[in-house]
Structure 1
Amino acid sequence: MLTTENTSIGFIGTGVMGKSMAGHLLNAGYPVYVYTRTKEKAKELLDKGAVWAATTKEIAEKANVIITIVGYPSDVEEVYLGEEGLVTNGRENTYLIDMTTSTPSLAERIHQEARKKGMFAFDAPVSGGDIGAKEARLAIMVGGDEEIFNQIEPILKIMGTNIILQGKAGAGQHTKMCNQIAIASNMIGVTEAVVYAEKAGLDPEKVLETITTGAAGSWSLSNLAPRVINGDFEPGFMIKHFIKDMSIALEEAERMGLELPGLSLAKSLYKQLADEGLSDRGTQALYKYWNQ
């Protein structure tokens, strides 16, 4: 059983969500080693007692549970399988938990390579954005070995409230694709509803009071539409990362012979915003497609 006494956690990626997630682990009493490309981004965690690691290799050498939430599949591949990587330099019986949204095929490959070295790898992407990360209410979608899952579940519960083992390696990433597909078309509807309310001369806040409690209700409508109304386009989840996720989903769909027109439309709209310099804004900035 993994306890605060026998567990050292390595955490790689302290961005919008990772910082809060690592903070919850510190607050739970776990020793936490952190690595990020820019040390300044980890300052708040270091001030709280986290220990800085200079490389991913150092994380692999010091921690027996390692959590990653980085940017792109290429980053995941480098962090796990590169020369300084976690699998490359890790120890037997280390638990590897990648919470990045990445490709199912890469999750399967990491799992296979980790198994060869007696390590346990899980893909565990999350949903809930910056709010869910701050409040430890993330949905966590896990792929990996069922017989090992119960050993890491208590650690995941420190960061989230809805943790489900979806199946074997790669299943977590496939589930996250379902999540992103549902969000993509929903965000079109959310932002169009706000635009319509404004053009009709309605009070958008009053409109939200009504429609969030009816059949139109969704997490995005309740949490992101108010940001739109207040002119807050800071990222809970950046457009550039959403485009990455949608691209993965479309590639996987094509591989399965599946057409997803709603997702294709959403990606094209977000791509236009990215081309106009808004790639670091939150997904709610889709509103700017209609109101520049």
Structure 2
Amino acid sequence: MAPISGDAVSPSNTRVGWIGTGVMGQSMCAHLLNSGFTLTVFNRTISKAQPLIDRGAHLAQSPFAVASQSDVVFSIVGYPSDVRSVLLDPNSGALAGLRPGGVLVDMTTSEPSLAVEIASAAAAKGCASIDAPVSGGDRGAKNGTLAIFAGGDESQVRRLNPLFSLMGKVNYMGSPGRGQFAKLANQITIASTMVGLVEGMVYAYKAGLDVGLYLNAISTGAAGSKSLDLYGGRIMSRDFEPGFFVNHFVKDLGICLKECQNMGLALPGLALAQQLYVSLKAHGEGNLGTQALILALERLNNVSLRPSLTSTT
């Protein structure tokens, strides 16, 4: 199959590869398997790919090997350095193993300039590349309701919609790198929203309110948000399991600040949020979920919301 042109993408004519089967990738791959797509996966820690292998996915030993058996290769890994390694390494990377006509789809939140570089390298080989980072966390991945921000050739994004639609809603943002810019703007919005959420909770607690009742009360008003819906209850139950890692959020916000510097842009809310998340990392909490921001605010104010839990359960 040559996905750059020809028949619509379907399980009968498109072999899918996947690099990175962590918190997000695991669920996204499951949707593809459930829809009948042939799937070849690679993950540095094989145990994280095992549930997918048990469900019929094929295991490859390198990104190169994934691509050599696939028409469309998705990646969702940790950092821009990981993206560069799994996609562009001349010996083990996916692009080196991809046949002309194949497509790379990087769903990692990464640097816009790297997305442009990958697209140029893919085009030089007669392939295509889409940057398609996602928002929605672990629940969005499980429910197939992710927001997908796509940059690259628009006709290519349309052709891949049968795959994207299994994971969520694809939004075409423009030329290569624009998907990444959209995701970074998304992260800026989330960062300040999370600061507002946890500050409101600490204020309500200090004022003597039942924090659970307070969250319920504001959820249907103007202060309601996706962050509140996703994380309010988790914070109240001290559930800091990662739907999205603090470490990865620090990486994302760092990329945002670097791009702000390039643009000559001052975003003080972003800078504050990044410092608070860096403080979590400094306390050894980088592998917790982003809702652990409450811990930073509790430390700053020498309070703990724990005692208020008894009145909300």
Which bracket does the TM-score occupy, shorter chain normalised? over 0.9
Which of 129, 137, 141 pairs up with 2:145?
137
Which of 130, 135, 146 pairs up with 1:127?
135
Q: Which secondary structure state, in structure 2, belongs to the residue aligned with residue 17 of structure 1?
A: helix
Work out whether 1:33 is the aligned partner of 2:62.
no
1:66-115 residue CA offsets vs partner (Å, 9 max, x unmatched):
10000000000011110211112211111110000000000000000000
Q: Which secondary structure state, in structure 1, belongs to the residue aligned with residue 166 of structure 2?
A: coil
TM-score w.r.t. length of structure 2: 0.91
Cross-structure match for 1:76: 83
Residue identity opposite 1:201 in structure 2:
G
Work out whether 1:92 is the aligned partner of 2:92.
no
* Structure possessing the higher radius of gyration over alpha carbons: 2
Q: Which secondary structure state, in structure 1, belongs to the residue aligned with residue 265 of structure 2?
A: coil
Structure 1: segments with no counterpart, 5+ residues: none
**Deviation at residue 43 of structure 1 after TM alignment:** 1.1
CA distance in 2, matches of 1:13, 1:248: 21
Cross-structure match for 1:108: 116
TM-score w.r.t. length of structure 1: 0.98
**Identity level (%):** 48
Cross-structure match for 2:5: none
Q: Is contact 2:10-2:162 (8 Å) kept?
A: no
Cross-structure match for 1:252: 259
Q: Which secondary structure state, in structure 1, belongs to the residue aligned with residue 13 of structure 2?
A: coil
**Deviation at residue 226 of structure 1 after TM alignment:** 1.1
**Deviation at residue 225 of structure 1 after TM alignment:** 1.4
CA distance in 2, matches of 1:136, 1:126: 11
CA distance in 1, matches of 2:43, 2:155: 31
CA distance in 2, matches of 1:183, 1:142: 19
**Deviation at residue 291 of structure 1 after TM alignment:** 2.6
Cross-structure match for 2:283: 276
Work out whether 1:210 is the aligned partner of 2:217.
yes
1:180-239 residue CA offsets vs partner (Å, 9 max, x unmatched):
000111111111111122222222221111111111111001111111011101111000
Pick which of 174-183 and 79-88 moved more. 79-88
CA distance in 2, matches of 1:223, 1:104: 28
CA distance in 1, matches of 2:55, 2:126: 33
**Deviation at residue 290 of structure 1 after TM alignment:** 2.7
Which of 12, 20, 29 pairs up with 2:19?
12
The ranges of structure 1 where at least 4 consecutive aligned residues each deviate by more than 3 angstroms after the TM superposition are none
Q: Is contact 1:194-1:229 (8 Å) kept?
A: no
CA distance in 1, matches of 2:72, 2:237: 40
Q: Which secondary structure state, in structure 1, belongs to the residue aligned with residue 220 of structure 2?
A: coil
